[in-house]
A and B are shown apart, each in its own frame.
Chain A
C-alpha cells in the first residue's frame, strides 16, 4: 500500500476529514418526513392548565404539518419574559415565536417579521380586531405581531353582588344580567355613580379595592377612566396635551374623589393586593380578570358565589375597559418563518382560541370581537354566568383601552411603566400638591420622555 502512496494513516485522516466536512456543511438536514423544528417561547400562564393547552395545540399542529415544535414557557414573574426578549433582541438568536407583552411588539418592531398576511386572512374570517390591540400591534400601518389569546386579559369590574346591594343599593346582577341586554339602571352605571358607591362602601368598611401604585392593574383602571373622559396626556404626534386640558382636569378631579374613598394603603398595592382584597371578603369591587374569583372559588367559596362581572362605568366620552394583551411575534432572524406563521394562524383560529379560553376558565380574551360569544362565559360559575360580561360584548357599548394611547407607543410605554397617571393622583391626594402643581409635574415628565425619543 505504501508503494502507491496510500497509507492507512492517510486513509483514516482523509476519511475523518470527509465526515467532518459533511457534518459541518449540512445546512439543515431533517429526518425523513419532517418539516424542521420550530422553537416557541410562550407566556407561562397563571392558570396551570393554560400551559397544557398550548403544548397540546402545538403538538397537534406539529403532527399535522410534520414540524417538530419545541415549546417553552417563560414566566413574567420578575420580568423574566422582558429580560428574555431583550437578550434575544441583542443577540439576534433564540426562539422563533415568542409571546410579547403589551408594549414589546412596538418596542421591537424593527426585529419582528411583518404579520399583515396572517392578520389579513384572520380578519377575513373573523372580522374586526379590538381597537386597543390594533394600536399596540400595528406600527406605521403594519401588523408586527398577532394579538394572542393566551394571556390576554381585560379588567372590568368584578363586584360583590351582596355588598353592593347592601351598602350602595345597587343590584349589579339585574343591571348587567347574563344575557345580551342591559338591565334597569345600566345607563346610570357611570363614574359618578361609581364614586358615590365607593364612598358608601368605604363607610361600611368594605371599600373598593383599587390599587393606586405603579403596577399594571393600577395604571390600567386609571387609564380606562381617563379615556372615558377623553382625557389624553399626549397626542398621536407625541406632543404633551396637559396644559389647559379641561377634560384631563375633570378626570383628575374624579380620580381624586374616588381615591379618597379607597383604603389608605392603596398607594403601595401591587397587582396581587386587589385580588387579596376581594378574596378576603374585605372589598366590594375590584377591576380584575377572573383569576381572583378562581382563587376565591378554591379558598373562599362563599366569596366566589357572590361575585359578578359588570362592564366598566361610563364617562362623558364613553365606556372603556382596561386591556392588557399578549402578542405572538416572529423574530425576523428566525429561520422557520413560514412554519411559524402557520402555527400562529392556527392558534388564532376560532376553535383553537375557544379551547384556550375554556381551559383558562374564561381568563383568556381573543382579539376578535366576533369571538366574544364563547360558551364558557355563560356557563362558568358559581354563580353561573358570573363572567358573562367579562369580555367586551356589543350590548355593553364598551371599548378596550390602553393607558396613554393615542401617544406613539415608544413614548406611551415609558409613561405607562412609570405609572405617570397614578403618580399624578398620588401627588395630589398623598403628597398634598394642588392639581395645577401635579399637572405641571406630569407635563415636565412627558416632555423629558419625548426629548429622548
Chain B
C-alpha cells in the first residue's frame, strides 16, 4: 500500500461494488478527491492572480494604442516600453525612491514592532488585551481613510501639527511641500499603519519561546542583552524573516498613502512604483507603459523572496 493509502481505498472500493469502472476508480482515488477539493482555490488563484499577472505582462508588450507589439531600438519587439523606461530620468528616480521608501519603512516597522511586542509581552496578561487592542487600531483602519486624516494634519496651509509646533515657538514644517519632508511624511504614515502588524506577529513568536530556555540562560548567568541575542532572536529568526518579506512586498506595492498624501509630488520626488504606474497608465492613457512600470517590482521582490526563503529553509534544516 502506498503511504497515502491510495491503494487501500481503491481496493476497498473495488471489492465493495464488485464491478466499478475505471472512471469510478479514478474518481475514488485520494489524489483525485484532493484535486477536486483544492479546485476552488486553484480557480481563485488562477483567476485572480495568474490571469491578471499574465495579462499585465501581455499589456506591457503592447504599444500605447494597444494595436501592436511595442518595438524597441535595441531591445526586441515587445520590450519597447521597458527600453523607454530605462532611458527615463523620472523612472530611475521612482526606482530609487521606491527602494528608499520600502527599505526604511520596513526597517522602522520591524524595530518599532519588535520593541512594542517586548513591551506588551512583559505586561501582565490581564492588562495586555486592552493595550494589544489599542495598538492594533492603526492597522485596522482602512489606509485610504487614515491617510486622509494624516493629510489633514500635514495640510500645507492648515496643518494641525504645525499649529501645535507654533504654540511652542517651533517654526512650521513644510510637511508635503519640501521633497525630504514629503518623503519622511510618507514613511511616517506607512510606519504608523504597518508597525502593529509586526508587533502582533512578534508577540505571537515571543509567546512561543519556551520559558525553560530563559531559565537555563539565567542559571548560566546570561545578561538581558545576551538572552535577547542568543535565545530570543534565534528563536524568532524565521518569523522575523517571513514578516519582513511579507511587509516588503506590501510596502513596495503601496499606492494609497502616496496617492492621498502627496500624489507623487513635489516634482515626482515621492512617487513609488504603484503611484507612478497609475499616473502613466490610467491618468495619461498609456496602459501598456503603466503595466511595464508595475512589472519592475516583480524581479526586485523575487530576489528578496529568494534570499529570505533560502535563509528560512536553511535554518529549518539546521534545527531538524
Contact = CB atoms under 8 A, between A and B. Distances in A.
Contacts of B176: 265, 268
Given A268-B266, A452-B64, A445 B90 contact: yes
A264 B174 contact: yes
Contacts of A266: 156, 177
Interface in B144-179: 156-158, 174, 176-177
Contact of B157 (A79, A215, A273): A273
23 contacts: A110-B65, A213-B266, A214-B264, A265-B174, A265-B177, A266-B156, A267-B265, A268-B265, A268-B266, A276-B157, A410-B65, A413-B284, A414-B285, A414-B286, A418-B268, A423-B267, A427-B267, A444-B89, A445-B89, A448-B84, A452-B63, A452-B84, A453-B64
B314 to A, nearest CB: 44
Contacts of B174: 264-265, 268
A448 B87 contact: yes
Given A86-B287, A417-B284, A273 B156 contact: yes
Interface residues of B, number: 34
Nearest to A276: B157
Given A265-B177, A418-B90, A419-B265, 19 more contacts: A82-B282, A108-B285, A110-B65, A213-B265, A214-B263, A215-B263, A267-B265, A268-B176, A269-B156, A413-B285, A414-B286, A423-B267, A423-B268, A427-B267, A430-B267, A441-B89, A448-B84, A448-B87, A451-B87
From DSSP, what is the main secondary structure of chain A's interface residues? helix
A453 B72 CA distance: 12
A270 interface: yes
Contacts of B84: 448, 451-452
Contacts of A430: 266-267
Contacts of A423: 267-268
A445 B265 CA distance: 16
A300 to B, nearest CB: 15
Contacts of B268: 418, 423
A266 B157 CA distance: 9
B282 A86 contact: yes
B98 interface: no
A270 B89 CA distance: 25
Contacts of A79: 282-283
B274 to A, nearest CB: 14
A430 B87 CA distance: 25
A263 B285 CA distance: 32
A452 B263 contact: no
A410 B64 contact: yes
Interface in A417-449: 417-419, 423, 426-427, 430-431, 441, 444-445, 448
Q: Determine which residue in B63, B174, B267 has the highest number of CB atoms from chain A within 10 A of its CB, and name it.
A: B267
Interface string B66-80: 000010000000001
The 7 closest A-B pairs by CB, nearest first: A265-B156, A107-B285, A268-B176, A268-B177, A414-B284, A417-B283, A267-B266
Contacts of A326: none
Contact of B177 (A104, A267, A448): A267
Interface string A252-277: 00000000000111111110010011
Interface in A200-243: 213-215
B81 interface: yes
Contacts of B81: 452
Contacts of A267: 177, 265-267
Contacts, number: 95
Most buried by A among B64, B157, B268: B157
Interface string B243-277: 00000000000000000001111111000000000
B144 to A, nearest CB: 8
A427 B90 CA distance: 13
Contacts of B285: 103-104, 107-108, 410, 413-414
Contacts of B64: 410, 452-453
A426 to B, nearest CB: 5
Nearest to B80: A452
B109 interface: no
Contacts of B156: 265-266, 268-269, 273
Given A452-B81, A452-B286, A418 B279 contact: yes
B289 interface: yes
B316 interface: no
Contacts of A448: 84, 87-88
B105 interface: no
Interface in B87-109: 87-90
Given A104-B285, A414-B286, A451-B84, A431 B267 contact: yes
Contacts of A268: 156, 174, 176-177, 182, 262, 265-266
A417 B157 contact: no
A453 B182 CA distance: 32
A103 B287 CA distance: 14
Nearest to B70: A452
B177 A417 contact: no
B287 to A, nearest CB: 7
A128 interface: no
Residue among B84, B87, B285 facing the most chain A CB atoms (10 A cut-off)? B285
Interface centre among A273, A410, A418 (most CB of B within 10 A): A418
A427 B176 CA distance: 16
A267 B179 CA distance: 10
B67 to A, nearest CB: 8
A193 interface: no
Contacts of B89: 441, 444-445
B157 to A, nearest CB: 6
Contacts of A431: 267
A448 B268 CA distance: 16
B52 to A, nearest CB: 12
A418 B263 contact: no
A264 B157 CA distance: 9
Contacts of A426: 266-267
B283 A82 contact: yes
B265 A214 contact: yes
A427 B267 CA distance: 7
Interface string A96-118: 00000001100110100000000
A83 interface: yes
Contacts of B157: 263, 265, 273, 276-277, 282
A166 to B, nearest CB: 22
